[in-house]
Structure formats: structure tokens, C-alpha cells
Structure 1
Amino acid sequence: MNGGLVRLREILDDITPSERKVAEFVLSHPHRMLEMSVAQLAAESGGSQAAIIRLCKSMGVKGYPELKLKVAGDLNQTEERYEYREIRPNDSIDRIIHTVSANNIQSIRDTVTILDADTVRKAVEALSRANRTYFYGLGASNLIAQDAQHKFLRINKTSYSFTDPHLELTSAVMLNEDDVAVGISYSGETDHVIECLKEARLCGAKTISITKYGNNSVSSHADYPLYTSSTENEIRSGAMSSRMTQLNVIDILYLGVASREYDKSVGYLEKSRDIIRRMTGR
């Protein structure tokens, strides 16, 4: 059981000032926190016992004992944690290669610690049973939606993604209980994606979200909220690491569905590969 420190980092900007005092203390002094009671942590951090309870709720853990277990799990990991690095003016190509690659790798590792396996399993089951699957996203997240459509079509799962936001909204109100809608938004606050999931749910469709960790509007409309971790900030506005983690989650869902119907999936993949070879000569 781990992921406590990752979850704390992810929600820092979305919690109350008193919760943030506690979170920042835990991030700075995780070993000390493990030896503390709720009252001791409140006194040392400058927060309050009520703030600690609220923080646990914001993190999605059942209480202070579970928080301590998750932090202890992080500290017991034998693999040394890589600290995210910024791109700086006039960086050498060697440094840029290392920094970008290491940031993306760490984002995927952090995402693994906050992905709930049971929620992933339920999402895979819903996608496997779906008559149609619609992937919704704008900007960089729309590229993820297109990639998802491509993957699922290759195993004969009827899937759609749209570059036109109006088509996204139009399709969302046409869904039914046999369909699945997947909303992709790193911030979790993209208006069109929120509206698509909201309308899809009203129509009876199952809904899945892929967003950053924490409470957000997109995940609030999802039956199965899935979360990613990344290093997004003002200098990384190109959605680099968030794109990598979103693609990773799509791959997990895709392989989960393909694995459930292994023989059929292999047959469909071979058929699509054969036609592409014939058309391209490769």
C-alpha cells in the first residue's frame, strides 16, 4: 500500500489552507509523521485535527491510519525516487533528453500508485460490454481520444472521437444504457467534457473519466473515475507528461478489454494488420 505522498502533492492546490499546512508538513517530514498521533501532527504542522480528517477525505483515504500506511509504503520503496526537473534556458540537448524522459517516466510511476485496480477492472468490464464507446477530449486530450478510438477499433469495438466540440455534445445526448462515454481532461474542468459526461450519464450510459488526482468536475460525473499524476505547470503548458500518463491509462484499458476477449482480439488485430500491409506494401 503506497501512493500517500503522490496524492498529497497532487491535491496541494485544491485543498484549504489548514489542510495544506498539514500536507506540506507531511511532504517535508514523512518519517516524523509516521511516529505522530493526530494531535501531535496537528500541533507540529500548525493545522488542526479537523483539518487532518478533512485532508484524509480529500485524498480519498479512509482515515489517518490508512494515510500513515500509504506514506510508509512510499518510504519503504527500494527504488530511489526521481525528483521532477524543470527545463531551463539554454539547457544542453543531453540535459533536455534526460530531463524530459525522466519526468515522463516518473509521472507514469506516480500514476501507478494512485490508480485503483478495482475501478480499472470495472471500467474494463464496462468497455468490454459496450455497444458503442465515445471518447471525449479537447486540445491535447483530444489526441488521446483519437488514439483510444484507433486502438479499440482494431479489436472491433465500435468507438468514436470527434475534433469538433459541437459533435461531441451532439453525440453525448444520443447515447443509451448500452454505451460508454470516456471523458479525458487533465484539469478535470474542461467545460465541454463535463457537459458530455453529464449528458451521457443522463441518457443512461456508463461514464469513465481520466483526470488528474483529486476532486474535479469531470470525475464527479463519472461512474468510474481514473486518475493520473504528472508535472504540469506554467512551463509545461504543452501537456507533455499528462499526455504520457493519459496514453498509459488508455493502453491499460485497451489491453484489459483485449485480454478479456483474447482469441477474438488477436484475430481482429491480424485482419487489420493484413489489410494495412496489403495497402502499404509493408
Structure 2
Amino acid sequence: MAPLARIRGERDRMSAIERRIADFVLDNAHLLRDYSSQQLANALGISQSSVVKFSQKLGFKGYPDLKYSIGESLARRESVITRDPAQANRGDDAPGLLLAESLWQAKAEAVHTTSVLNPHADVVAVAEAIRQAGKVFSIGIGYDGLHSRTIAIKLALIGRTAIHLFDPALMAVGTSSAGPGDVLLVVCEHGQEPALCHTARLFRKRGGKVVSITRHTANALRAHADIALLVSAHDPRPQMELLLYQAALQHLLDLVFLMLCEDEAHLRMLEENGAPIE
């Protein structure tokens, strides 16, 4: 896993001092090459040994090893593909090719990091909960609503009773028919929507199981989930970060869907419905 992704992945389990170091490194990754361990410690008002222990806890020999790994990772991200003669002769097509390659690499890294952050057992548990549920409720707002709608449609195609809810004011009412064993799949990027947290809390009181999909941050929605799936997608360019989040999120949902399709009854229902999946 890339060092910055590893730091994000471990941040929630760090001590207060370690989180201060982690936040500084994440916010100033491009400037880290100019900081010695002592300078970093001085900037944060902590001991140099805290910086060294932080690096070693992440699996590095020491701070220089961590700094080198971060610099190397950033260089790979920022590098462009080497132009061979064929590409050089493409003229006006070259910028488009570079942009396409950059997007592909960034998406691949986001999907890979997201996969590492989610234990396989958790993804299997989500698929199993949906398989056993009487009803599956899928909710989300904005862009997340599009993904929650898509997974609801796919679940219906394999014979699951799937209900997509999109109006925040009616979400709690929409799930009022939920019973023990039913599943609420909540997609919320930052996990802070009050309406979704309220609905998740009521759903669990009725004996249902809540599955949240959010960014890998400490957030309110994760606290209400029985199973929390996490998305990692970071880029300084907002337009790129949006695309990376959507790609990694879709990967998680697709993986759950594929696990469900390993059930012969589900696969047979999908073939009978004969609808294209996009």
C-alpha cells in the first residue's frame, strides 16, 4: 500500500500525538523532503523519538525510510508516461493520452487501496447479510444516491427484494416496514448526513442490520453501522478526487454483487431477467 494511504488507513487507531504527526505528513507530503525528524518534531512541539516511533509503527526502519517512500510515491503519481516515437508522432493526441493514462493509474491506486482497507471477511459478511435478508433498503443522497439506486436495481435483477430510498425527509418512514434480518445499505461519502444517521439508528432498533459505505474517516454514520465498508480516494485536484471516489465506491459495490452471483439461484434469476448490467 502507498505510504500516505497506509497513514490514512491507520489514523483512526493512532494516539493523539501520532494523529498530529499523521495529519502534518498528509497535509505537507510534498514538503516533507525538506524536514528532518528533528525539524518535524520542532514544528509539532513533540519529541524526535515520537517521530521515529511513528515511522516504525507504520513498518518503516525509521523516519528517513518513511520520507523516501513518500517522496517516491509522489514522484510516481506525478510522473507522466514516457513517450515513445509512436506517441510523439501523435501530435495533438499526446495530451489526451497522458490524461487518460494519469486517470487510469489514479483509479487503479484508489481501487487497490480501498481493497486493502476492507478485510475480505467484511465484504463476504455484507454479501451474506443481503443473501439472507427479507428486504434490502438502499439509500444515498446526491451522487451517492445514484450508486445506491444502481445497486438496488442489480439486487432486484437477481431476485432480492430491494427498495431504493432517495428523499431524506422520507427515509425513516420508508424503512418503517423493516424487520429483524433486513439490511439497510447506506452510501454516504462523508458519513455526516443527519437524516441517514437517524434512519440507521431506527433501523437497528427494529432488528435490522446496517451496512455503511463512507470515506475512510471517523464519522457518525460508521458508529451506527454493523458493518462499515471504507473508500479511500485522495487527490489534490477536486475533479480527480470525485472520479476516484466514485470508481472505488463502484468497485466495492460490484464486488458484493459478484459474490451474490456465485449463488446459482441468483445467477439463474439474472439470466432469466436478461437485462444488461451497466
TM-score by length of 1: 0.70
CA deviation profile, 1:78-99 (whole Å, cap 9, x unmatched): x9995279xxxxx943343233
Q: 1:266 to 1:257 in 2, by over 3 A?
A: closer
Q: 1:167 aligns with which of 151, 165, 170?
A: 170
Q: Using the alignment, how far apart are the partners of 1:169 and 1:153 within structure 2?
A: 21
Q: Distance in 2 between matches of 1:129 and 1:81?
A: 46
For residues 145 and 194 of structure 1, what CA distance do their matches in structure 2 show?
16
- Contact 1:188–1:218 under 8 Å retained in 2: yes
Residue aligned with 2:122, SS: helix
RMSD: 4.0
Which residue of structure 1 aligns with residue 20 of structure 2?
Answer: 20
Structure showing greater radius of gyration is 2
Unaligned runs of 5+ in 1: 34-39, 57-63, 86-90, 278-282
Aligned counterparts, 1:26-175, within 5 A: 28=32, 46=44, 48=46, 67-68=58-59, 82-83=76-77, 92-175=95-178
> Which residue does 1:8 correspond to in 2?
7
Letter in 2 for 1:264: A
CA contact (8 A) 1:134 1:160 kept: yes
Q: Partner letter of residue 187 of structure 2?
A: I
After superposition, give the CA deviation of every residue in 1:86-114 in whole Å (9 maximum; x if it has no partner): xxxxx943343233333222211111121
| 1:88 equivalent in structure 2 | none
Match for residue 59 of structure 1? none
Task: Check conservation: 1:21, 1:45, Cα contact below 8 A.
Answer: no
**Runs (4+) off by over 3 Å:** 2-5, 9-13, 15-18, 22-29, 42-49, 64-67, 79-82, 91-96
**Match of 2:7, as an amino acid?**
L
Equivalent-residue separation in structure 1 for 2:241 and 2:58 (angstroms): 33
Q: 1:140 to 1:80 in 2, by over 3 A?
A: same
Aligned-residue sequence identity (percent) comes to: 17
Structure 1 partner of 2:218: 215
User: 2:189 maps to which residue?
Assistant: 186
Q: SS at the partner of 1:189?
A: coil
Question: Number of residue pairs matched?
Answer: 243
Native 8 Å contact 1:3 1:114 kept in 2: no
- 1:45: Cα distance to partner? 8.1
Which ranges of structure 2 fall in alignment gaps of 5 or more residues? 80-93
Corresponding residue for 1:268?
269
TM-score, length basis structure 2: 0.71
1:19 Cα deviation from its structure 2 partner:
2.2
